[in-house]
């Protein structure tokens, strides 16, 4: 059996669009079937926005690339209907060790907060992640949802028009033209669409190379994240070992800048390096070897008229901190409900500018975090190395220095503080659920809170009277009434009430808090809803 | 808490001698490492970010803008 990432999943098939006299116009076209494009397309279909996904390839990601997926993207997948297979296949972990030179300096337990349906992290090969998204996409298509994926379709030109975007696509059968009312560009870090539109992508280049090897081995290393600074087997550099499902292990070795990449990728060079790390006696097989360099950069704006950039096409971060795919999924989550309202002419087109504002803020947070981790791992000056080593030496003896050690701050979702869509806040309620924040999960007597949220506007009424539903200029707001006593763990109270006896939360379709109050006031809810759809 | 920039150490001559003695006979590299660890230890002891920022400014001999 071939590897999953070598099997065509959506092989090229001729589309009727290729035989039409005039270009077919689709409501939405997504370019790129990576994790972000697939998620965006699925969300479009769930919102009944007819969508076509174009990818030059016909397979999932070659090699695993992203392996670490955080809770928020898993919650997004739950909303999209494919969280369960991803989490079931993934490996959960919470422990880790940090080594400096030849010794362990400390071990940690992420101590994930209890009372969430989804774990803080899972490790899963990106190809499996994409595989489950493709399956979900196909299942939706089979149910009759307006979604289609076309492999072997390479976009070669993009021309924005007044009310559409025109595309030229090359296929094994030759070129054809197609149009989109809205184009979602998820075509990766090298984004040809970005280049076609002559748009910027500025940031910092990190002059470093990392050798990444996925090896299959029957090893009894625990399911932990092991990170080495300056280990004897890779002097002056860093190393990472992390487990994936199927006895697959991720090894990441920093190589430095002046290396011969082709030579370093050859098994004659890779195998001795890995043996030095894992021990001579460990038997392993190489599944995938690659060398990567990275940059930390973003586009100045993610929205360009009817072209919306998402994922790596819009922003690129270092892998330390697992923020690439994780943040790209949050882009999709943020974008599609807005597109739906704009397309239905319920919200003004300017609502899409809030996609830009909110996700640029998210990208900046990720860029800051991943640049800091990278600077700690690879100090850029002598004095920076001096302090890095000081922190590591102290961490072995004193707990205070451990939070200073930075081998990647693992992805957490962005709170859209200061978003133009945020409505009023109530000071008495807990800070973590302030407007702009993603609603945290909580166990209810039966099931989980987040399973009951999302995909529509909702008014979460906890211990407060509120009507069953509201209609605000054609936007339905559905009330979800919760009893503050139906709270077996106390998490609901802690996360949503604090000391207050009752609370009302206006929630967006992406489960983010738009506004909140301690008592119901219809006028206030209406005003907040209008604000969150960009109508004021 | 504002950074204390007036005399605050009892027996300053003794303290100073101890500080220098700490580095006595050590290679520059080792001394640099000790100093870095010392900065981190003391910074953690102070904890307060405002005070630390005032110390950073004082260390680069910057005039204080506000009292
Ligand atoms: C070594 C490594 C480790 C990583 N680890 C993590 C991690 O642990 N966690 C995490 O969250 N992220 C991680 N990442 C980042 C993650 O892999 C990326 O952020 C993610 O793949 C981005 O998804 P995307 O959908 O935006 O783009 P991509 O996955 O790059 O997909 C782009 C798609 O666009 C298609 N395409 C491009 N041009 C065209 C065209 N002209 N026409 C049609 N189709 C086109 C491509 O075929 C491709 O399928 C890691 C990355 C690397 C390299």
User: What value of ipTM does the predicted structure carry?
Assistant: 0.94
Ligand 1 near A341 CB (within 6 A): no
Scanning B3-32 for CB atoms below 8 A from A yields 32
A31 lines ligand 1 (CB under 6 A): yes
Structure tokens at B54: 């005032």
pLDDT of residue A322: 85
Q: Which fold has domain A431-532?
A: Glutaredoxin (3.40.30)
- pLDDT of the residue at A206: 86
The owner of tokens 């008592």 is A519
Does the beta carbon of A212 lie inside 6 Å of ligand 1? Answer: yes
How far is the centre of ligand 1, averaged over its atoms, from the C-alpha of A31 (Å)?
A: 12
Question: Which pLDDT tens digit goes with each residue over A262-272?
Answer: 999 999 999 99
The verdict on a CB contact (< 8 Å) between A401 and B40 is: yes
Going A133 to A452 to A28 to A513, the CA torsion angle's sign is negative
* A211 strand-pairing partners: A253, A291
Q: Beta A307-309 vs A174-185: how paired, if at all?
A: parallel
CA of A326 to the centre of ligand 1 (A): 11
Contact B40 A404 (CB under 8 A): yes
Say which residues have a Cβ less than 8 Å from residue A271's Cβ, sequence separation at least 6.
A286
A166 DSSP β-pair partners: A159, A179
Which is nearest to A444 in space by CA: A477, A493, A478? A493
The answer to whether B40 contacts chain A (CB < 8 Å) is yes
DSSP single-letter state for residue A396 = T
- DSSP annotation of A102 reads T
Q: How far is the CA of A48 from the centre of ligand 1 (A)?
A: 26
Query: Ligand 1 centre from A318 Cα, in Å?
Result: 13
Question: Among A8, A30, A55, A68, which is best to mutate for testing ligand 1, by the most ligand atoms less than 8 A from CB?
Answer: A55
Q: A393 contacts in B (CB within 8 Å)?
A: 33, 37
φ and ψ at residue A13, rounded to 5 degrees: -135, 140
For residue A520, CA distances in Å to A314, A493, A501 come to: 40, 18, 13
Tokens found for residue A298: 């973003």
Q: What is the pLDDT of residue A196?
A: 98
For residue B16, give Cα distances in angstroms to A73, B4, B12, B58, B60.
55, 17, 6, 19, 20
A8-29 as b/e: b if 16+ CB within 10 A:
ebbebeebebbeeeebeebbbb
Q: For A109, how many CA atoms within 13 A lie in the half-sphere containing its CB?
A: 3
Q: B66 pLDDT exceeds 70?
A: no
Query: Residue A427 has which token pair?
Result: 């000071």
How confident is the model over A245-304, as pLDDT tens digits?
999 999 999 999 999 999 999 999 999 999 999 999 899 999 999 999 888 999 999 999
Tell me the fold of A4-90+123-203+296-366: FAD/NAD(P)-binding domain (3.50.50)
Q: What pTM was computed for the model?
A: 0.95
Answer yes or no: do A390 and B36 touch at CB < 8 A.
yes
Q: Which positions in chain A have a beta carbon within 8 angstroms of at least one beta carbon in chain B?
A: 386-387, 389-391, 393-394, 398, 400-401, 404
Every domain of chain A and the residues it spans = 4-90+123-203+296-366, 431-532
Counting one residue from chain A and one from chain B, the pairs whose CB atoms sit within 8 A come to 24
What pLDDT score does A2 carry? 60
User: Is residue A200 helix, strand or coil?
Assistant: coil
Provide mean pLDDT across the span B19-28: 98
pLDDT tens figures, B1-16: 899 999 999 999 999 9
| Per-residue pLDDT, A1 | 40
Say if CB A393 and CB A99 are below 8 A apart: no
Q: What angle do CA A472, A304, A47 make, to 5 degrees?
A: 40
The three-state (H, E, C) secondary structure of A459-508, written as one string: EEEECCCCCCEEEECCEEEEEEEECCCCCCCCHHHHHHHCCCCCEEEEEC
Question: What CA–CA distance (Å, rounded) separates A189 from A474?
Answer: 39
Separation of CA A314 from chain center: 13
Rounded CA separation A31/A37 (Å): 7
Structure tokens, A443: 């166990």
DSSP H helices in B1-67: 12-23, 28-46, 49-59
DSSP A32: -
Q: Which residues, given as ranges, of chain A have pLDDT below 50? A: 1
Asked if A468 and A479 touch (Cβ cutoff 8 Å), the reply is yes
Closest Cα in chain B, distance from residue A67 (Å) = 34
């Amino acid at each position: 059996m071939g590897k999953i990432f070598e099997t065509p999943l959506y092989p090229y098939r001729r589309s009727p669009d290729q035989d039409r006299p005039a270009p077919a116009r689709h409501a939405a076209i997504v370019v790129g079937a990576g994790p972000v494009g697939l998620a965006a397309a699925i969300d479009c279909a769930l919102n009944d926005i007819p969508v076509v996904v174009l990818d030059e390839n016909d397979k999932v990601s070659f090699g695993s690339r992203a392996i670490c997926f955080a809770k928020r993207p898993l919650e997004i997948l739950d909303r999209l209907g494919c969280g369960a297979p991803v989490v079931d296949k993934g490996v959960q972990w919470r422990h880790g060790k940090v080594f400096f030179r030849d010794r362990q300096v400390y071990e940690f337990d992420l101590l994930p907060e209890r009372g969430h349906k989804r774990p803080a992290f899972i490790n899963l090969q990106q190809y499996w992640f994409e595989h489950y998204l493709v399956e979900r996409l196909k299942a939706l298509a089979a149910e009759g949802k307006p979604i289609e994926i076309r492999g072997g379709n390479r976009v070669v030109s993009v021309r924005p028009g007044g009310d559409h975007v025109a595309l030229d696509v090359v296929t094994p059968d030759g070129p054809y033209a197609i149009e989109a009312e809205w184009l979602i560009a998820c075509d990766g870090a090298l984004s040809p669409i970005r280049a076609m539109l002559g748009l910027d992508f500025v940031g910092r280049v990190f002059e470093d190379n990392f050798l990444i090897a996925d090896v299959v081995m029957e090893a009894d290393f625990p399911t932990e994240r092991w990170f080495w600074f300056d280990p004897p087997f890779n002097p002056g550099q860093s190393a990472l070992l992390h487990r994936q499902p199927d006895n697959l292990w991720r090894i990441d070795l920093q190589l430095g800048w002046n290396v011969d990449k082709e030579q370093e990728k050859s098994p004659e060079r890779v195998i001795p390096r890995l043996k030095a790390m894992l021990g001579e006696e460990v038997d392993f097989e190489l599944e995938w070897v690659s060398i990567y360099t990275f940059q930390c950069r973003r586009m100045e704006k993610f929205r360009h008229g009817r072209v919306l950039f998402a994922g790596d096409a819009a922003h690129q971060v270092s892998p330390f901190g697992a923020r690439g795919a994780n943040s790209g999924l949050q882009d999709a989550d943020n974008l599609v409900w807005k597109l739906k309202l704009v397309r239905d002419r319920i919200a003004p087109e300017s609502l899409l500018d809030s996609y830009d504002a909110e996700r640029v803020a998210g990208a900046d947070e990720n860029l800051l975090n991943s640049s800091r981790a990278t600077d700690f791992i690879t100090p850029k000056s002598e004095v920076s190395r001096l302090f890095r080593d000081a922190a590591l030496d102290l961490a072995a003896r004193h707990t205070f220095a451990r939070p200073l050690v930075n081998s990647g701050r693992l992805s957490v979702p962005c709170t859209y503080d200061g978003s133009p869509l945020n409505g009023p806040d109530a000071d008495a309620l807990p800070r973590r659920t302030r407007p702009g924040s993603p609603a945290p999960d909580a166990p209810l007597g039966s099931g989980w809170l987040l399973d009951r949220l999302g995909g529509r506007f909702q008014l979460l009424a906890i211990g407060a009277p509120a009507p069953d539903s509201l209609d605000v200029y054609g936007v339905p707001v559905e009330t979800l009434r919760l009893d503050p006593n139906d709270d077996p763990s106390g998490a609901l109270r802690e996360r949503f009430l604090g000391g207050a006896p009752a609370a009302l939360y206006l929630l967006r379709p992406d489960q983010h808090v738009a506004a909140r109050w301690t008592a119901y006031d219809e006028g206030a809810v209406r005003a907040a809803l209008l604000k969150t759809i960009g109508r004021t | 808490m504002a950074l204390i920039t007036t005399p605050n150490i009892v027996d300053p001559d003794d303290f100073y001698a101890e500080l220098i003695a700490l580095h006595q006979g050590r290679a520059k590299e080792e001394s640099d490492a000790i100093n870095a660890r010392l900065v981190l230890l003391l910074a953690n002891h102070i904890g307060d970010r405002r005070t630390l920022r005032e110390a950073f400014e004082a260390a680069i001999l910057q005039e204080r803008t506000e009292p």
